[in-house]
Structure 1
């Protein structure tokens, strides 16, 4: 498991093609536009960062989010990269 301030990544390494799950609860991100924006960002980052791994992965929001504006996307992207870098440091032999 890897964790940042607002996100958590759970990983189960298996001999299967990579499968991604995204959990953005309505109680943590009230507006649908924010949930959809986060899902798009997470999906794109997962495809780039976790394509070399095998197994199942779940990225979930762990703290409430008030709004995800266009200017906030760079900060979210940086946090996602930090999350995946943390995972790669924990499991370097899975590349």
Structure 2
């Protein structure tokens, strides 16, 4: 089963890395890590140590590297489908369903955090309907290619 990335901090961690593969409309990012625990999110939001009236300073939180668990044991999926590339909510929902379906069918996914990002809009001249079968098939085919390229072992240079 594939979990969902929900915290903005996890999206930021994955999107900070270079994309693993790209297609015409999509980019795929991967980070071999587990989602951040809630204590890590709270530590990242703290801007400065609080000063107490008694003069005792609060204990500092440990660094991120120390709080992260060992290698990930599952896959988590995040999707970025911005309104500027898919104006209609029907289209955004269709693309998200296709992304989830493509990941569900993918075999041999390495564990970690995965984010699929819509880079460019689909041409409205080719796909005038917001949720047509043609758009569904085109998105599914492109996502299948994207995942195949990402999962292929890198050729030795």
Q: TM-score, normalised by structure 1?
A: 0.85
- Of the structure 1 ranges 68-77 and 9-18, higher mean CA displacement relative to structure 2 is found in 68-77
Contact in 2 for aligned 1:18/1:50 (Cα 8 Å): no
Greater C-alpha Rg: 2
User: Partner of 1:6 in structure 2?
Assistant: 25
User: Over aligned residues, Cα RMSD in angstroms?
Assistant: 1.9
User: Partner of 1:88 in structure 2?
Assistant: 151
Partners of 1:13 and 1:91 lie apart in 2 by 16
User: Partner of 1:79 in structure 2?
Assistant: 142
User: Partner of 1:62 in structure 2?
Assistant: 119
Pair 1:29 & 2:92 matched: no
More helix by share: 1
Structure 2: gaps (5+ residues): 1-19, 34-70, 125-129
Partners of 1:33 and 1:18 lie apart in 2 by 27
Closer, same or farther in 2 for the Cα pair 1:42/1:2, shift >3 Å? same
Aligned length: 92
Of structures 1 and 2, the one with the larger relative CO (CA 8 A, separation 6+) is: 1
Closer, same or farther in 2 for the Cα pair 1:74/1:31, shift >3 Å? same
Task: Describe the SS at the equivalent of 1:80.
Answer: helix
Closer, same or farther in 2 for the Cα pair 1:7/1:79, shift >3 Å? same
Contact in 1 for aligned 2:26/2:116 (Cα 8 Å): yes
Contact in 1 for aligned 2:109/2:151 (Cα 8 Å): no
More strand by share: 1
Q: TM-score, normalised by structure 2?
A: 0.53
Query: Which of residues 79, 84, 103 in structure 2 aligns to 1:46?
Result: 103
